[in-house]
Amino acid sequence: MNKIIKIFLLAIAGGTVTLYLLQSKGYHSGPKWYNIESGLSEGKKQNKMILIDVYTDWCKWCKKMDSDVYSDKEIVSYLEENFICVKLDG
């Protein structure tokens, strides 16, 4: 087999193993986000308070919240247990 093909296949295998290990360690990409309409409906159905995250695409601090706060496993667990999380584009 060609050397480039072997390297390519090894890279794919390594990436697959890495993704599997990250998922098995409980890494979480964030809480389940709803839009405003479905979030309000789900909040009534589950009798939970609504957390609304107002964000913009250009906001540095919004991105920091996503990467530092909403990716923390303990925070995500707390939010999903106690709130319906809504993302609202400002």
Q: What is the pLDDT of residues 60-78, one digit of tens each?
A: 999 999 999 999 999 999 9
**Predicted TM-score (pTM) of this structure:** 0.65
| Residue 62 CA, distance from chain mean position | 14
Paired sense of beta strands 49-55 and 83-89, if any? parallel
User: pLDDT by residue (tens digit) across 17-54?
Assistant: 555 555 544 555 789 999 999 999 999 999 999 999 99
What's the DSSP call for residue 67?
I
Residue 29 is predicted with a pLDDT of 73
Pick from 49, 46, 24, 50: nearest CA to 35:
50
Tell me, what's the pLDDT at 8? 60
Q: Which helix (H) or strand (E) is 59 found in, with range?
A: none
> Which has more pLDDT, 47 or 8?
47
Distance of CA 31 to the CA centre of its chain: 6
